[in-house]
Structure 1
Amino acid sequence: MFVKTVIVTLCLAVLPAAAYAGCSSRGHQAQSCAPGTVWDAASQSCVKQVNS
């Protein structure tokens, strides 16, 4: 009985860390901007596209 309790406790302790690790890549989603604008990482917003 003690061994089962220890195993369950370890699993419950590890599961939140595993769930967080699996979701950590969500911060890198693609940004879509209106036509004629592009994403500017410095200002974290869409800005007018300048053709040079």
Structure 2
Amino acid sequence: MKIKTTLIALVLAAAPGLALAGGGCNSEKTNISASSCVEGTVYDAATGTCVPQTTS
């Protein structure tokens, strides 16, 4: 019984840390960089995405 209680306490103590391990809502957005944009697009830091390159 003592081992079971200890294991349950350890799982409950680790649960908040596991919930934060996902990186949050913006984790995918921050993984894009200028080098990952395809040809003809440029990285827009304001939106965090690749946008079509405009020529003037």
Normalising by the smaller structure, the TM-score range is 0.3 to 0.5
> By percentage of residues, which structure has more helix?
1
Q: Which has the higher contact order (CA 8 A, sep 6+)?
A: 2
TM-score, normalised via structure 1 length:
0.47
TM-score, normalised via structure 2 length:
0.46
